[in-house]
Amino acid sequence: MYNLTRVFLWGLIISFLGSLPLGTLNIAAMQIGIQENVTQAIYFSLGCLLVEMIYVRISLVGIEWVRKQEKLMKVMDWIAFSVILILALSSFYAAWNDGDSSKNIMLNNNLHRFLLGMFLCAINPVQIPFWFGWSTVLFSKNILQPINSHYNTYIVGIGVGTLLGNAVFIFGGKWLTSRISNANEYINWIIGLVFLITAILQLIKNLKKKERIVG
């Protein structure tokens, strides 16, 4: 029982801390919480954590196969860049035209937020090497064992950690906008800037990968 509790806590802590740096998913969850409501933001987060948990399971049992799919990973990297760039530009467009009354293309649709969370998380393959790296460390420390009870407990901890990390942004964003005068007027500008920076970083990563392949 102690070992399973330790595995759960390690998964939770790594996932929670990994969710805190600004990124596409936590900022999107915050925006949904501010411009729609907390319930929709939680649906979005649940969609994200479901895909993340699937990715972790893949990283535990099939990482070698995934690593060999270079063409697939390359396509996913460029799809991720394109989507993030579109989100950035649409956020700037919404801010320029209608301020806080307009939504970017991510929110201006009828797609269920759970499915939207799944989609945005699914096009972010960086999670696979991230979790493969951490899982390797836990294996080397004999914290994580290659048995189903450990795998399942580890994945549940990761899911809880992701949800808690997104909750910081969802409720933190609501709290800030309720206390800062006219904060909603700048939401699309701020979120557009975060998406733009993320897109630039994704582009740099894609180009570095291309250089390594060519070299």
Domains held by the chain: number: 1
Q: What is the pLDDT along the chain (215 residues), one digit of tens a residue?
A: 668 899 999 999 999 988 887 777 888 898 888 888 899 999 999 999 999 898 888 778 765 565 566 676 677 677 777 877 887 887 787 777 765 555 666 667 778 999 999 988 887 766 777 787 788 788 888 888 888 899 899 999 999 999 999 999 999 888 877 776 656 667 778 778 877 887 888 788 777 766 555 44
Predicted local confidence at residue 192, as pLDDT? 80
Structure tokens at 156: 């549940």
Query: How many CA atoms lie less than 13 Å away from 193 in the CB half-sphere?
Result: 4
* Residue 71, both tokens: 């063409």
Does residue 124 contact residue 78 with C-beta atoms inside 8 Å?
no
* pTM for the whole structure: 0.76
Domain that holds residue 41: 2-214
The Cα-based distances of 78 to 56, 75, 135 in angstroms read 22, 5, 26
Predicted pLDDT at 105 = 64
